[in-house]
Structure 1
Amino acid sequence: MRSFRSLLRFLLFVLAPLAACGAAPAGLAQQEYQALEKLRRAQPPSEVRADEIAKIAWYRQRTAELHRRGAAFLEQHSTSPWRWDVLVLLRYGGETRERVSRSGFRQLVPVPESAAAWEAAYFPKLEVLLEAPDASSGARLEAIRQLIDRASRRARMSREEARATVPQVRHWFELHRREVQPNHFPTGIYQDFASLLDAADPRWLLDFLAELETRHTGAGFPDSRIREFVQARRRLLEAEARPLDELWARLKALDPAVGDVSRYRGRVVLLALGPVTYDTFIEQIEDLHAKHAAEGLVILQVASFNRAYGLPSEPEQRRDLEKIVALRRWPWPVLWNPRGHDDIAGRWGSTTFPSWMLIGRDGLLVPARAGPFSISIPRELAQPAPAAP
């Protein structure tokens, strides 16, 4: 009942101003947009956050209201410059369903058919936005970010598709680079474009990294961040071509038995770098183990100390890990790294969390451009084992 009252308070507090703005003259479009932005940023109250079912209902209600009000704004203020700022708030407005993980975690996920139909209508509007002379810089930057994210992710499944997509994404990337503030480094856009270039041709990625090094030579931000990005990408490319002796030495230091490389010669190994408390990540590991363990896939997980402010100390985090591992009894080993996630992931160029490293039968890192695990793991498992030395 308290959760229901919280929903009502939310509606009165955030949505009432929207209703007032809806009846206002077109000259108040900015105020209505600000109310929509406030709605988008709203978070559930503490009593709702403690109740998973109520929280799901709260987010579903907020999303439905945002898109209903947003659609009304676009219809009522069809000539207002603020229509573009509202448009980029509405990335997905189709159906969602509640998904319950195997460990009980709940979240809302799009219905695939509804998402596809929404995207087919939505993303062409973003391209129209980029040609609009009255679109704000903020709306343009967000539209470019969304276009790059979608195009680069969809195209990385094959080298041919990636190559065909690069010119358009490069155009959007350069548009974004010219408009973004000098003190801002949009990490996600650089990562997306670099991954697309890598999937198309690693030489294109090397040219891009060299271009960034030439362009960003100063000591201040964002030059320092971009140089860190370039170095991480270079490490990843270098790691793909060199024996992983250093990696195995680090794993052996964490656990002499599990990290002994001699146990895995000629086998396909998936190194999963991430916490045991991340439901989606653990479910991915469980699914890959269920699908490929009988075919010979070896999975090793490394959970690392998280130094984030407010979290327990390293010994406490390790004790929590040991309790969870003892309770869950996963069929793959879990190693503890007190030095943190980047000790391994960052050393080999990964900037994501969690991270994955697939090692082929030849003992080399399988490039990320080899495709998703649904393709790369079966392909590596089908390779013949190398001859004994």
Structure 2
Amino acid sequence: MQRKHFKADHEDYRATVREFLAREIEPHYPQWEKDRLIDRSAWLAAGRSGILGLAVPGECGGAGVTDYRFRQVVFEEIARTGTTSFGSGLSVHDDIAIPYILHLGSAQQKARWLSKMADGEVIGAIAMTEPGAGSDLQGIKTTAVRDGEEWVINGQKTFITNGIHSDLVIVVCRTDPGAGSKGFSLLVVERDTPGFSRGRKLHKVGLASQDTSELVFEDVRIPAENLLGTESGGFRHLMENLPLERISIAVSAIALARAAFEWTKNYVFERKAFGGPIGNLQNTRFTLAEMRTEIEVTESHIDRAVLALNVGELTDVDASMSKWWATELQKRVVDRCVQLHGGYGYMMEYPIGRAYVDSRIQTIYGGTSEIMKEIIGRDIAAEFR
């Protein structure tokens, strides 16, 4: 079935993204994976090439593009090249940090940060997860106490994407200990603020060069104007941004599943065994048929979800369904593709081997599959109350 989701301007942009990746990312990516850190020069190059901050308005130094299909193109091209660690950090910057400032920031905050974020000079991160609080945001212990014209932050965060390179971190803090979910606020902490330090760069199973670290806040004082959004409105602000965060993961997942399928399809018709290409064996053809069908059906669903996002109609439940289904499908597809590669599928020099270790996190971050099903299930149960 021909995919009619993208128009001519999306395909023109695809050519730009593809050329950028071939010039600035792919030649260096193997070394970055060995170093376990992507060089900051990649961010500056992305800014120069128009890959960052598409949604940032023109008056703030961006392109002012709100059609998420352009971001979808970026995901697909990154998946095709297997440069997943780069794409993951980019997504946190573009789909989480920038939208929070764009939608919640004051005029002064937008003018101060957005232009540099679109240029790649300032790298953004969000700090929610703590050593004792993962999906349960109610368990957050990091505190911020108002002291005159400043906030004083104390606490620890972990599993923070872009944690090492970040110049601007949106920190979820408890500002009213007795208010439950209504006691959280979002505070922006900038690089080199006294008391703010980076812990160790975490050694993950996959996404080797993706920048993930611990963050420590010890009597960190920030100006009162670094409050993002409304005081004690942090939980509501988080909920408002979840559809975008989750659909971004779903878009990434289906793009990566498609890339794994394409690599494998080409491999099985080149690999010879039992007198011919292994792609001619019935079991291989059946497996390819199953994967192609699942991928194309899911692509149709994700494409519709992206269009719903564009017009402001994507709900958290719809995004949760997309995220749960696409990430679980990605895991299944990548696992079957490794099997069809045989022993070579277990070699890290093959993109499918890297995809195998990189894909496992997808059903965990941004809300686990279990949390996604709970959100969907609650919505179903609400019909009978």
TM-score interval, normalised by the smaller of the two chains: under 0.3
TM-score (norm 1): 0.25
| Structure showing the higher strand proportion among its residues | 2
Which protein shows a greater Rg?
1
